[in-house]
Structure 1
């Protein structure tokens, strides 16, 4: 996959960076931890502008973020109820918890989305609760753009500074990503064991 990403960025420049970051947001197995540092390396070699590479990566990722948000918003808060009723045990949710999450999101949704964009693994999933819980589109775009911009800037600047040693970035971030996955799996397992499905869920 790495060779394909390198070739696409070499051949397509900013468009390639934006397209890859869009794919990374829609299909998380494609790593931004590789895409944006390669954009930074290209900028260090004089083949791109660092600022424009960051802008292209942020724009591509934001397009993917919006796709997920709109898909979740189309499903909607109200249509979620029969899904919770049927699969609440496996989702470890009941309807009262969904309502509480909805209220919490109205107060803290902007911070949740902004900070969530900075956490490996989680960052690609943030759009779904934002859409399902009816976060205002304007607030979603603002918070997502800030968080995504910070993430792409960090990765691109790291690639720009490290150049041929850009793979060191993944060596640092990969354990963090794996740690986040472990925490999510353990949390889900605990919820599955302890969660009680209410009759009206």
Structure 2
């Protein structure tokens, strides 16, 4: 058995133990921690919670409610981190980053102001972004009630899909993780490509600007 499979089995065993000890509340705790620590995969915890409900250990509605509550609690914690960070600290950090400009942050803020509600809602259904989207929402101080409602709605949809898949697949609940893993890898690949492309473009811009400055100095 490779290390990846061992890690997945360890996470599954931990989640089962948590749910056996704390019931539906344990499922909520697991999902709250998944929001704070993205390496904990909801694609395993949620179907496993559905499978546990299918065995009669937990109620299906109970699982759906508690996992959604856990998602909201975890998201609110990250929102709080973003609010604590704030715009001033964010700009101070950006000014110290070699390839970033304050203009990048300003454009991001303008985009979030226009599309923030959709980003929070749909972001709850995209691996990686499920957790990260809460931080800019906190930085931009999205109204807390709106953030909570959008997070609850998006999380409820995501959680219901995976919990029901585990519930109806029974002992084959792990199949969900296989397909979800493919989706996650696609998202990661797209992010990596976008970041690499952005770095290349930014480095070229900096070189052109430096060449223009050097040419101006030489003419003078």
- Taking structure 1 as the reference length, the TM-score comes to 0.91
Q: Tell me the equivalent position of 1:192.
A: 199
Query: For 1:22-67, what per-residue CA distance to the aligned partner results, in whole angstroms no more than 9, with x for missing partners?
Result: 1100011111111111111122122211111011011112111111
Written as runs of structure 1 = structure 2, the 5 A alignment for 1:7-156 is: 7-89=17-99, 93-156=100-163
Deviation at 1:134, TM superposition (A): 2.6
CA contact (8 A) 1:120 1:177 kept: yes
Q: Tell me the equivalent position of 2:174.
A: 167
Distance 1:88 1:104 in 2: 23
Distance 2:25 2:142 in 1: 30
Q: Which structure would you say has the larger Rg?
A: 2
Distance 2:20 2:44 in 1: 14
Q: Give the alignment's Cα RMSD to 1 decimal.
A: 1.5
Distance 1:84 1:42 in 2: 45
SS in 2 for 1:77: helix
Deviation at 1:88, TM superposition (A): 4.8
CA contact (8 A) 1:69 1:127 kept: yes
Distance 1:129 1:87 in 2: 18
Runs of 4+ off more than 6 Å: none
Deviation at 1:11, TM superposition (A): 2.2
Mean CA deviation greater in 162-171 or 124-133: 124-133
Distance 1:96 1:190 in 2: 18
> Which structure: greater helix fraction?
2
Deviation at 1:133, TM superposition (A): 2.4
Q: Which consecutive unaligned segments of at least 5 residues does structure 2 have? A: 1-9, 210-220
Q: Higher relative CO (CA 8 A, sep ≥ 6), structure 1 or 2?
A: 1
Equivalenced residue count is: 195
